[in-house]
């Protein structure tokens, strides 16, 4: 039996750009524990009891801040912003003025630019046993985005084994915003091979096909009769290797935004459910966001060795990133991602864990 523990707090005590970093831990009365770092306001570990009651770490990551700094993959567990996902050619226009974000993903700006929120040291505000708040102020013009943006990310761990992530932001100039969390989950336990044996359901009849640069073409497509259909629970591995043009554009797997069914959203029901037949761990995702990027770690290469020294290979994890649709600033048919002064951006996502025997 694998014995999973939280990383040592002292391995996260460091200085980055003159700011101290820490490990923050949350616990509930049901045996769940979460480790967070102010470096990227990120999730480091998520210990969840499996079907035998043994704590299992279900997110990829490293056991020290140095591990994160040296990693090939920058987005383990992070808060992504100011604009999660891709902006075509790094360009968009607000009120006739064009803004430019230096491309860091082929021709696109990805995840708020090279030095997005994932790379910043956030201030800790309130830290209790079951909650931690992180705060960051992005300067006007930071990474090319207009407006000074104050952002709060709140993590709450409930006795119902839910990790609730709430976002709140305000700007002093019109800007664009799209925030998400980039946890890489493996419900078999981090570093335990691929996620093909996981059973996934997504409440979405349509998704957004992409072009060769992974920018949505703008025309939603039905999932019906495609590998993208997860309306009834299906093995992630069932169709992932199919010679499907969209799976190939995703670099050999899923890396696509689902348009969540409005009924599931309106009734506050889970928009996605994933289960590992090995551990029995079941994850439900609830959100206020209209989209869900389902990503199967297609760019993981095995170079990064995780918390227990195991390589993080391609398909070694899945991400369910709740968000607005990619490239929204350039796609006027998509729900708007514009945030105006005097308005408050609010969004919430819940990762709820249980065991299915």
Distances (CA, A) of 274 to 102, 211, 217, 234, 326: 35, 28, 28, 9, 23
Tokens 């990027």 -> residue: 293
Minimum separation from the CB atom of position 321 to ligand GLA (A): 6
Single residue of 12, 136, 254, 295 touching ligand GLA by CB under 6 A: 295
Minimum separation from the CB atom of position 148 to ligand GLA (A): 26
CA 192, CA 266: separation in Å to the nearest integer? 36
Region near ligand GLA per CB under 6 A, out of 31-39, 119-127, 292-300, 332-340: 292-300
Region near ligand GLA per CB under 6 A, out of 88-96, 149-157, 168-176, 293-301: 293-301
Q: Which is nearer to ligand GLA, 147 or 191 (CB)?
A: 191
Minimum separation from the CB atom of position 236 to ligand GLA (A): 15
Asked if 255 and 240 count as a contact pair (C-beta separation under 8 A), the reply is no
Q: Which is nearer to ligand GLA, 133 or 255 (CB)?
A: 255
Does the protein bind ligand GLA through residue 110 (CB under 6 A)? yes
Minimum separation from the CB atom of position 319 to ligand GLA (A): 5
Give me the 240-259 binding string for ligand GLA, x by CB under 6 A, dash otherwise.
---------------x----
Structure-block tokens of residue 258: 């689902």
Q: How many residues lie near ligand GLA (CB under 6 A)?
A: 9
Kindly tell me the burial class for residue 7, based on how many C-beta atoms sit within 10 Å of its own C-beta (0-12, 13-18, 19 or more): buried
Q: Which is nearer to ligand GLA, 111 or 307 (CB)?
A: 111
319 Ramachandran zone, left/alpha/beta (phi>0; psi -120 to 50):
beta
Structure-block tokens of residue 29: 């009365």
Q: Which is nearer to ligand GLA, 178 or 279 (CB)?
A: 178
Asked if 119 and 137 count as a contact pair (C-beta separation under 8 A), the reply is no
Contacts of 9 (CB under 8 A, 6+ apart): 22, 23, 25
Region near ligand GLA per CB under 6 A, out of 24-32, 59-67, 291-299, 341-349: 291-299
- Shortest Cβ contact with ligand GLA: which residue? 295
Asked if 130 and 156 count as a contact pair (C-beta separation under 8 A), the reply is yes
Length of the chain counted residue by residue:
357
Minimum separation from the CB atom of position 19 to ligand GLA (A): 24
User: Cα 99–100–106 angle (5° rounding)?
Assistant: 145
168-227 positions binding ligand GLA, by CB under 6 A: none
Q: Which is nearer to ligand GLA, 251 or 348 (CB)?
A: 251
Minimum separation from the CB atom of position 255 to ligand GLA (A): 5
Q: Which is nearer to ligand GLA, 77 or 191 (CB)?
A: 77
Structure-block tokens of residue 200: 């996934």
Tokens 């009769």 -> residue: 225
Minimum separation from the CB atom of position 81 to ligand GLA (A): 13
Does the protein bind ligand GLA through residue 33 (CB under 6 A)? no
Kindly tell me the burial class for residue 96, based on how many C-beta atoms sit within 10 Å of its own C-beta (0-12, 13-18, 19 or more): exposed
Active site residues: 182, 321
311-330 positions binding ligand GLA, by CB under 6 A: 319, 321
Single residue of 12, 39, 68, 75 touching ligand GLA by CB under 6 A: 75
Whether omega for the bond prior to residue 176 falls within 30 degrees of 0, making it cis, is no
Asked if 312 and 319 count as a contact pair (C-beta separation under 8 A), the reply is no
In Å, how far from its chain's centre is CA 291? 12
Structure-block tokens of residue 227: 């590998």
Q: Which is nearer to ligand GLA, 293 or 349 (CB)?
A: 293
- Residues binding ligand GLA (CB under 6 A): 73, 75, 110, 255, 293, 295, 299, 319, 321
């Amino acid at each position: 039996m694998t014995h999973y523990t939280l990383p040592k707090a002292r391995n996260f005590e460091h200085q980055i750009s003159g700011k101290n970093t820490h490990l923050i831990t949350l616990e509930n009365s049901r045996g769940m524990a979460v480790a967070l770092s102010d470096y990227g306001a990120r999730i480091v570990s998520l210990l969840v009891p499996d079907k035998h009651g043994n704590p299992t770490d279900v997110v990829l990551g490293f056991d020290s801040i140095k591990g994160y700094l040296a990693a090939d993959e920058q987005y383990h567990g992070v808060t992504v912003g100011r604009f999660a996902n891709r902006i075509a050619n790094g360009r968009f226009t607000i009120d006739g003025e064009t803004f430019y974000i230096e491309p860091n993903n082929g021709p696109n700006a990805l995840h708020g630019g090279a030095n997005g929120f994932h790379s910043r040291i956030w201030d800790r505000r309130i830290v209790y046993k079951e909650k931690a708040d992180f705060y960051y102020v992005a300067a006007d013009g930071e990474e090319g985005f207009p407006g000074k943006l104050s952002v709060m990310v709140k993590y709450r761990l409930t006795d119902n084994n839910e990790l609730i992530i709430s976002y709140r932001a305000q700007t002093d100039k019109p800007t664009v915003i799209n925030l998400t969390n980039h946890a890489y989950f493996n419900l078999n336990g981090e570093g335990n091979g691929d996620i093909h044996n996981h059973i996934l359901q997504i409440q979405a009849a349509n998704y957004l096909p992409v072009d060769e640069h992974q920018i949505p073409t703008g025309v939603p497509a039905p999932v019906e009769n495609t590998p993208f259909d997860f309306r009834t629970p299906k093995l992630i591995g069932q169709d992932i290797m199919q010679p499907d043009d969209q799976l190939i554009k995703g670099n050999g797997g899923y890396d696509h935004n689902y348009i969540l069914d409005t009924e599931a959203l309106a009734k506050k029901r889970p928009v996605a459910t994933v289960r590992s037949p090995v551990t029995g761990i079941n994850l439900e995702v609830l959100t206020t966001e209209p989209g869900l990027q389902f990503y199967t770690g297609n760019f993981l290469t095995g170079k990064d060795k995780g918390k227990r020294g195991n390589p993080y290979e391609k398909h070694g994890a899945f991400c369910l990133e709740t968000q607005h649709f990619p490239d929204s600033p350039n796609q006027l048919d998509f729900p708007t991602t514009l945030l105006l002064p005097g308005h408050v951006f609010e969004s919430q996502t819940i990762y709820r864990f249980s065991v299915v025997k």
